[in-house]
């Protein structure tokens, strides 16, 4: 896999150690390093004090244990020589008669940096201040900021950078380290590390297990990774620790910008490793767009250059993490809250516009398709919310040359069941006359033939709005706008685009949710058939069986693919190569490479070519994390070249 895609493969390792047996623990560590290398891991993180065991207590004071720990550290270093990996291990280190709980960064046979623990627990079972000094004691406050008081420590290889102010820089990413309790403090070191530029945070931990702590800890990790836009790798001591008073579960987590992307099984009785990939490009995009992110840089941070041996085979496949093929849809457990949020945003927005304009009615063109159905449901819910009669919603169906009995019947039945005002205004004669007036051959079913119908429909809606003091509610969705799949000055225009912030996959989902949870059984039956109807503008005549012949997805491609493209191109600015790779992973062989590339090319071409339509969009509420409003998320010139 091309490393330009921005993924960094990381691992959280939990060796099955023996308390106080440093030689044994070093062997367990090197065995797991071998496993990590075989998996193509770039950085592997081991638990806090993993070479000695966290529960050694007063044995930390003994010279023998300290010497054994350094011997084990040297053994791990020797083992990494010539190997393409960065290793983070924990051990105690004596400096100037103080003992520190440290993380050692190792690559190619050498320790390149040592980070002491900053925040020491001072309550409960482990009163670390009895044994260790805080990393804060290694720095001092000078008039121009915080500076290292102990900048280096002498190891067998020579002087090595030491302190809580170390930022590790590789060619492709940067990382920082905090240790266990540091994360639980009011001001975690990872906050300043991230502000200073660390894109990945590694936490060497030895957090004991009590009821309820697991859920809280994983929530805290996800929140911290989102707060500072970072990848967060956490590993904690396993069941090999002493159970004198507490139990350790070997928890491992890998989080990225608020989402837990990998988690290991707890309480395993053998060594275990959790592996995944962190998307550094995605993190950088969020940081670039957050201008406040770097405003609170404090102190003096030293950069340590890391030059690990490159893996000659490059990034190993397959990738461990998964990608959601429907990024705009809610997880099952959050469906109710998510869908009601969407509907609340839409109804609140429409209610505000309705009240502000003092309109007597809402005017909506109803085709029997998904988009107009959602707009109608939102209009009805808005009328209910404002205490207005539903007949103030004017539903207008305008049968044309391609209207089928199925969509026509669904449009009429839905309006009737919802209690809105029903208007039927056929457009065939008007369009025929118009095409005759412009000398267009009626047998030529080209873009003129199609768009004439769309513009006549918009003319009718606008004039009906004038007649009934109404507000024309647009029905086009975000996916159609991204593709430019709208007739300029036709369905492209309205007085308020209520669906402009909702992608097609979410439109279908919300209609289904509303059918099952908000409206009665008769409406449910109609909505289920609307959902099952192929997406079509119905501008071309039906076939001999009266069926739809113009299927939108046959022309522009599957909307589930386009919504995937929209999300990762607009939200994160990813390259075509990366989006295509992620789509192959996300859809898991449902589309072959050629199909994905074909529709990605269509998306990119249409997206750039059709910006002029989006440059003059009507108002409409933003709903999901991306938007196309020229006044909001997308400030884009109409004549930019495709890239």
Q: For residue range 544-590, what is the model confidence (pLDDT) as tens digits?
A: 777 777 788 888 999 999 999 999 999 999 999 999 999 999 998 89
**354 in the same domain as 285:** no
Residue 99: count of CB within 10 angstroms of its CB: 16
**496 in the same domain as 399:** yes
Q: pLDDT > 70: what percent of the chain?
A: 97
117 is catalytic: yes
Instruction: Check residue 128 and give its pLDDT.
Output: 87
Name, in order, each residue with C-beta under 8 angstroms of 529's C-beta and a sequence gap of 6 or more: 406, 410
Give the residue, 295 or 573, on which the prediction is more confident.
573
What's the rounded Cα separation, in Å, for the pair 15 and 486?
58
Domain count across the chain: 2
Does residue 111 belong to any structural domain of this protein? Answer: yes
Say which CATH number the domain at 47 has. 3.60.110.10
444 is catalytic: no
Instruction: Check residue 336 and give its pLDDT.
Output: 94
Does residue 242 have a pLDDT over 50?
Answer: yes
**417 in the same domain as 298:** no
What's the rounded Cα separation, in Å, for the pair 118 and 165?
11
Domain finish residue from 305, 321, 349: 305
**240 in the same domain as 350:** no
**265 in the same domain as 144:** yes
**336 in the same domain as 290:** no
Among the listed residues 48, 178, 181, 277, the single catalytic one is: 48
Model pLDDT for residues 116-130, shown as the tens digit of each residue? 999 998 766 678 889
**356 in the same domain as 244:** no
pLDDT mean over 434-452: 95
Lowest average pLDDT, out of 167-181, 233-247, 321-335, 349-363, goes to 233-247
Does residue 2 have a pLDDT over 60?
Answer: no
pLDDT mean over 75-99: 96
The rounded Cα 217 to chain-centroid distance in angstroms is 20
Does residue 466 belong to any structural domain of this protein? Answer: yes
Instruction: Check residue 299 and give its pLDDT.
Output: 64
Long-range contacts of 536-539 (CB under 8 A, 24+ apart): 536/369, 536/402, 537/402, 537/450, 537/454, 538/367, 538/369, 538/400, 538/402, 538/403, 538/404, 538/407, 539/400, 539/401, 539/402, 539/449, 539/450, 539/451, 539/453, 539/454
What's the rounded Cα separation, in Å, for the pair 89 and 102?
8
Cβ atoms 542, 404 nearer than 8 A: yes
Model pLDDT for residues 464-521, shown as the tens digit of each residue? 999 999 999 999 999 999 999 999 999 999 999 999 999 999 999 999 999 999 999 9
- Give me the torsion for CA of 343, 346, 348, 351, rounded to 10°: -120
**300 in the same domain as 336:** no
Edge-to-edge order in the sheet of strand 361-365: 421-424, 393-397, 361-365, 470-474, 496-497
Among the listed residues 45, 77, 180, 230, the single catalytic one is: 180
Does residue 256 have a pLDDT over 80?
Answer: yes
**SS3 letters for 221-243?**
HHHHHHHCCCEEEEEECCCCCCC
Does residue 622 belong to any structural domain of this protein? Answer: no
The rounded Cα 30 to chain-centroid distance in angstroms is 34
Place of tokens 């289920």: 528
Paired tokens of 362:
């809402």
Domain carrying residue 535: 332-614
If you average pLDDT over every residue of the chain, what do you get? 92
Among the listed residues 77, 83, 102, 117, the single catalytic one is: 117
**368 in the same domain as 293:** no
Name, in order, each residue with C-beta under 8 angstroms of 503's C-beta and a sequence gap of 6 or more: 328, 477, 478, 479, 559, 563, 566, 567, 624
DSSP sequence for 17-66: --TT-HHHHHHHHHHHHHHHHHTT-SEEE--TTTTT-GGGGGGGG-HHHH
**370 in the same domain as 244:** no
pLDDT mean over 271-275: 96
Does residue 270 have a pLDDT over 60?
Answer: yes
**442 in the same domain as 542:** yes
Which pTM was predicted?
A: 0.90
**278 in the same domain as 341:** no
Say which CATH number the domain at 556 has. 3.40.50.620
pLDDT mean over 39-48: 96
- Give me the torsion for CA of 33, 38, 39, 42, rounded to 10°: 60
């Amino acid at each position: 896999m091309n490393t330009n895609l921005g993924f960094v493969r990381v691992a959280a390792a939990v060796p099955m150690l023996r308390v106080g047996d440093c030689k044994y623990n070093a062997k367990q560590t090197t065995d797991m390093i071998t496993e990590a290398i075989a998996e193509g891991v770039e950085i592997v993180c081991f638990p806090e004090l993993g070479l000695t065991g966290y529960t050694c207590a007063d044995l930390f004071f003994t010279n023998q244990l300290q010497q054994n720990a350094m011997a084990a550290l040297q053994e791990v270093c020797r083992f990494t020589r010539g190997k393409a990996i960065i290793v983070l291990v924990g051990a105690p280190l004596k400096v100037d008669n103080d003992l520190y709980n440290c993380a050692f960064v190792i690559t190619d046979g050498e320790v390149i940096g040592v980070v002491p623990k900053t925040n020491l627990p001072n309550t409960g079972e482990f009163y670390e201040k009895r044994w260790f000094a805080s990393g804060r004691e290694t720095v001092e406050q000078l008039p121009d900021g915080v500076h290292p008081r102990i900048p280096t420590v002498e190891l067998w290889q020579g002087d090595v950078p030491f302190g809580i102010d170390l930022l590790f820089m590789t060619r492709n990413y940067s990382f920082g380290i905090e240790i266990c309790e540091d994360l639980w403090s009011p001001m975690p070191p990872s906050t300043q590390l991230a502000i200073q530029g660390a894109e990945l945070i590694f936490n060497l931990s030895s957090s004991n297990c009590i009821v309820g702590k697991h859920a809280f800890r994983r929530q805290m990790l996800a929140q911290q990774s989102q707060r500072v836009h970072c990848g967060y790798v956490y590993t904690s001591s396993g069941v090999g620790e002493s159970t004198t008073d507490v139990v350790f579960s070997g928890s491992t987590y890998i989080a990225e910008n608020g989402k837990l992307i990998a988690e290991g099984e707890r309480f395993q009785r053998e060594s275990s490793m959790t592996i995944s990939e962190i998307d550094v490009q995605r993190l950088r995009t969020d940081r670039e767009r957050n201008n406040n992110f770097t405003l609170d840089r404090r102190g003096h941070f030293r950069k340590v250059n890391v030059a690990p041996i490159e893996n000659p085979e490059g990034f190993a496949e397959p990738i461990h993490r998964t990608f959601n093929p429907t990024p705009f849809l809610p997880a099952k457990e959050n469906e109710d809250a998510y869908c009601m949020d969407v509907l609340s945003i839409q109804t609140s927005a429409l209610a505000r516009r309705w009240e502000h304009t003092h309109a007597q009615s809402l005017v909506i063109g109803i085709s029997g398709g998904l988009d107009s159905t959602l707009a109608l449901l939102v209009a009805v819910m808005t009328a209910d919310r404002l205490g207005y009669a539903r007949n103030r919603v004017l539903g207008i169906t305008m049968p044309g040359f391609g209207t089928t009995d199925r969509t026509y019947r669904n449009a009429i039945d839905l309006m009737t069941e919802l209690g809105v005002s029903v208007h039927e205004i056929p457009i065939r004669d008007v369009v025929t006359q118009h095409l005759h007036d412009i000398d267009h051959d009626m047998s030529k079913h080209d873009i003129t033939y199609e768009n004439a119908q769309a513009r006549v429909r918009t003319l009718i809606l606008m004039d009906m709005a004038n007649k009934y003091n109404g507000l024309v509610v647009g029905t086009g969705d975000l996916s159609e706008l991204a593709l430019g799949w709208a007739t300029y000055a036709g369905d492209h225009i309205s007085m308020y685009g209520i669906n402009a912030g909702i992608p097609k996959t979410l439109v279908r989902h919300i209609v289904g949710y509303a059918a099952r949870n908000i409206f009665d059984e008769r409406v449910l039956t109609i909505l289920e058939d609307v959902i099952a109807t192929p997406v079509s503008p119905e501008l071309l005549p039906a076939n001999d069986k009266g069926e739809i012949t113009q299927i939108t997805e046959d022309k522009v491609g599957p909307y589930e693919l386009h919504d995937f493209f929209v999300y990762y191109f607009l939200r994160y600015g990813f390259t075509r190569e990366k989006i295509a790779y992620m789509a192959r992973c996300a859809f898991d062989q449902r589309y072959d490479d050629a199909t994905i590339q074909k529709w990605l090319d269509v998306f990119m071409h249409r997206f750039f070519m059709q910006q002029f339509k989006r440059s003059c969009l009507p108002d409409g509420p933003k709903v999901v994390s991306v938007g196309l409003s020229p006044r909001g998320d997308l400030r884009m010139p109409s004549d930019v070249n495709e890239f």
